[in-house]
Amino acid sequence: MTFSLELSPDLVHIRDWVHEFAADVIRPAASEWDEREETPWPIIQEASKAGIYSMEFFAEQSAEPSGLGMLVVFEEMFWGDAGIALSILGTGLAAASLASNGTPEQMGEWLPQMFGTVDDPKVAAFCSSEPGAGSDVGAIRTRARYDEATDEWVLNGTKTWATNGGIAEVHVVVASVYPELGSRGQASFIIPPNTPGFSQGQKFLKHGIRASHTAEVVLDDVRIPSRLIIGGKEKFEERVARAREGKSSKSHAAMTTFERTRPTVGAMAVGVARAAYEYALDYALQREQFGRKIAEFQAIAFKLADMKARIDAARLLVWRAGWMARNGRTFDNAEGSMAKLVASETAVYVTDEAIQILGGNGYTRDYPVERMHRDAKIFTIFEGTSEIQRLVMGRAITGLPIR
């Protein structure tokens, strides 16, 4: 497809429709669920009823020809509220891991279960991080052992920081089968609902995105059928054999998921940044001091100019990464990481400036920029910290094994 920054009429329609949902349903509920610090199931159900939370909608937007479908949807939802939007869209990480590496049979069986039905919506979780393995994915200690006698995998370990961990219908768990191979000896496994030995550990109380559930999950002799290794056992063993021969392999279980989802995380951050910018702009055009609107002070107008420029620049990087991914371009300069890095740091910067523009009001919970500022910080941490994005980019640019 030729390059164009003009959204197709279909995508404009989707954007406006999702925006309406974000403005009418998500935004008014944001403060309540932030305070309650609970999963907003009624809002997830409304999203499901509206058709915004469904496997079909995810599939359609992922396949959108320009590559911008999912990015536009994520920006609007997070413009509404980050905590609620992550509760609704957090399933995306587990779904993406299955969609990028799963067999057609696995997708057919498990994707619908991840989303549930309109009457009974469900969520899914992707569990990679561990207490001793955050940025260092290769250090994962959760073990998956194949039991030939029963043709099952037996999993043991503790996962942490799992979005939707313990409340999900389906969990995707990254585990090490051959620890001596680091991340190349890892695979992802589908844990069906109510599997014995699988349980939720502590739920975390967080700084921001408080409506989104984050928890530990514990695997204690969890037994699952051998067919539940994502991509199939045969393919995994072939990949391991290539790794043992020292041949390079394109697919590392956790890394391929992250590469695919980083631009969408960038889009989330752009949504939060835009929300804070718009609020600060309106405020600056109303609030008067020294007999004039504060937007008339160059100090404030320049802040707004910088905020707007950085948001637009971040969005362009996010869209470029989405377009490249859709058109099969390789990320030679780590363009996915670049988009996520710039968008996440933009969200932190813009929400901080928004508080400054609102003055004392900005620092209170009576005004939404306080919440947006707390929410924005997560984007520089999850799905690879800013330092890790710079590391990935530094290696891609120089070709050197930067540490």
Ligand X SMILES: Cc1cc2nc3c(=O)[nH]c(=O)nc-3n(C[C@H](O)[C@H](O)[C@H](O)COP(=O)(O)OP(=O)(O)OC[C@H]3O[C@@H](n4cnc5c(N)ncnc54)[C@H](O)[C@@H]3O)c2cc1C
Which residues lie closer than 8 Å to 135 by C-beta, 6 or more apart? 384, 385, 387, 388
Least distance to ligand X, CB of residue 261, Å: 10
Among 378, 379, 392, 393, binds ligand X (CB under 6 A): 378
Question: Hey, which residues between 174 and 213 contact ligand X (CB under 6 A)?
Answer: 206, 209
Among 385, 394, 395, 396, binds ligand X (CB under 6 A): 385
Q: Is 150 in the site for ligand X (CB under 6 A)?
A: no
Least distance to ligand X, CB of residue 361, Å: 27
Q: Which residue is nearest to ligand X (CB)?
A: 134
Least distance to ligand X, CB of residue 126, Å: 5
Least distance to ligand X, CB of residue 4, Å: 34
- Stretch of residues binding ligand X (CB under 6 A), selected from 53-61, 99-107, 269-277, 384-392: 384-392
CA distance 179 to 51: 42
Is residue 383 among the annotated active site residues? yes
Q: Is 218 in the site for ligand X (CB under 6 A)?
A: no
Which residues lie closer than 8 Å to 226 by C-beta, 6 or more apart? 146, 151, 152, 153, 233
Q: Specify whether the CB–CB gap between 288 and 131 falls below 8 A.
A: no
Q: How many CB atoms are located within 10 Å of the residue 71 CB?
A: 27
Q: Is 97 in the site for ligand X (CB under 6 A)?
A: no
**Number of residues near ligand X (by CB under 6 A):** 21
CA atoms within a 13 Å half-sphere pointing along the CA-CB vector of 91: 27
Q: Which of 64, 105, 383, 387 is catalytic?
A: 383
Q: Is 95 in the site for ligand X (CB under 6 A)?
A: no
Least distance to ligand X, CB of residue 262, Å: 11
> Which of 239, 269, 339 lies closest to 82, judged by CA?
269
- Stretch of residues binding ligand X (CB under 6 A), selected from 8-16, 284-292, 347-355, 380-388: 380-388
Question: Hey, which residues between 126 and 145 contact ligand X (CB under 6 A)?
Answer: 126-129, 134-135
- Stretch of residues binding ligand X (CB under 6 A), selected from 8-16, 121-129, 274-282, 305-313: 121-129
> Which of 95, 30, 25 lies closest to 57, judged by CA?
95
Q: Where does this chain bind ligand X (CB under 6 A)?
A: 93, 126-129, 134-135, 161-163, 206, 209, 214, 378, 381-383, 385, 387-388, 391
- Which residues are catalytic, by number? 383
